[in-house]
Structure 1
Amino acid sequence: MANTDPLLLVLKLALDAEEQAALLLKSAQLECQKRQNQLDALNNYRLDYMKQMQSQQGQAISASHYHQFHRFIRQIDEAIAQQQRVVADGEKQKNYRQHYWLEKQKKRKAVELLLDNKEKKRQAIELKKEQKMTDEFASQQFYRRNK
């Protein structure tokens, strides 16, 4: 009878949904890390470029070179700002998927709880039946002895 319980099918579906949600979450986490690594690379590139320019500080630089340097730094800063938005979007997606996974996990646990309660009720009924049979047997024995 337990094998044909419709709740077992519901549990299987809940487990499948939770597993899918976990895979989506893992994918979002990896994507977030990738985006953060790209942002870190841009920040490191900017820092290296600034250090390179600082090392030339005592040397004479042409106005066009200085202008070019500032224009390039602005471009890097724009790329960093854009990548920060990409990272923030990735974080939002990751948080959404984490919430989705937690919801699926909660549903699965609820179905497991229902199945557990159902099994406990079945065991209690079985125990009562056994107790009733034992009581009937004892009363028949008592009746036979006293006859």
Structure 2
Amino acid sequence: MSYNAMALLLKQAKFLEHKAHLALVLAQQESRGYCAQLEQIEQYRLDYSRQMTERGTQGLSANSFSYLNRFIFQLDETLAKQRQAAINFEDNIERCQEYWQQCRQETRSLDWLIKKRQKYAKIHAEKLEQKQMDEFAALSFIRQQRSLY
């Protein structure tokens, strides 16, 4: 494979790695925002439970108690769904991270291969140059010897 083709592959790999990194960062930001919402709902549920307890000590009708209890139950259902969604966010982060690491490894591998080929080409060029210099020196020596006789 030519150097230009490998350079193009490296450029594409770097682009994919960059996109994968951006996706990872976005997934992390979304997860943090979602977890903050989850914490707010949990805090709201806790506050509401405290209110229910306080109102219960002051005397609460069965109808009001039933309403408050249903509302807390709905909050609990919402929290369960939110927690599952938070787990899904974490799974997404993990997938994004794995993909980014895979892209990063491919980029590093291509970069290593290009550097290895460049090193080999440099060594080959140096050997060729040395061979040409040796041949030139040998020819010069032969010409010198011929001119002496």
TM-superposed CA distance for 1:40, in Å, is: 0.7
- CA-based RMSD: 2.2
Which residues of 2 match residues 82-121 of structure 1 at below 5 A?
A: 82-121=81-120
Give the number of equivalent residue pairs: 145
Give secondary structure in 1 for the equivalent of 2:58. coil
TM-superposed CA distance for 1:45, in Å, is: 0.4
**In the TM superposition, what whole-angstrom CA distance separates every residue of 1:78-120 from its partner, at most 9, and x where no partner exists?**
0100101111111111111111111111111111011010011
Scaled by the length of structure 2, what TM-score is found? 0.84
Give structure 1 regions of 4+ aligned residues with deviation exceeding 2 angstroms. Answer: 51-58, 129-145
- Worse-matched range after superposition: 14-23 or 128-137: 128-137
* Residue matched to 1:21: 20
Alpha-carbon distance between aligned partners in 2 of 1:45 and 1:138, rounded to the nearest angstrom: 90
Which residues of 2 match residues 1-147 of structure 1 at below 5 A?
A: 5-136=4-135, 139=138, 144=144
Give secondary structure in 2 for the equivalent of 1:58. helix
Q: Sequence identity of aligned pairs in percent?
A: 32
Structure 2 residue runs of 5 or longer lacking an equivalent are none
Structure 1 residue runs of 5 or longer lacking an equivalent are none
Alpha-carbon distance between aligned partners in 2 of 1:9 and 1:36, rounded to the nearest angstrom: 41
Alpha-carbon distance between aligned partners in 2 of 1:64 and 1:140, rounded to the nearest angstrom: 113
Give secondary structure in 1 for the equivalent of 2:57. coil
The one-letter amino acid paired with 2:81 is: Q
TM-superposed CA distance for 1:48, in Å, is: 1.3
Alpha-carbon distance between aligned partners in 2 of 1:117 and 1:11, rounded to the nearest angstrom: 14
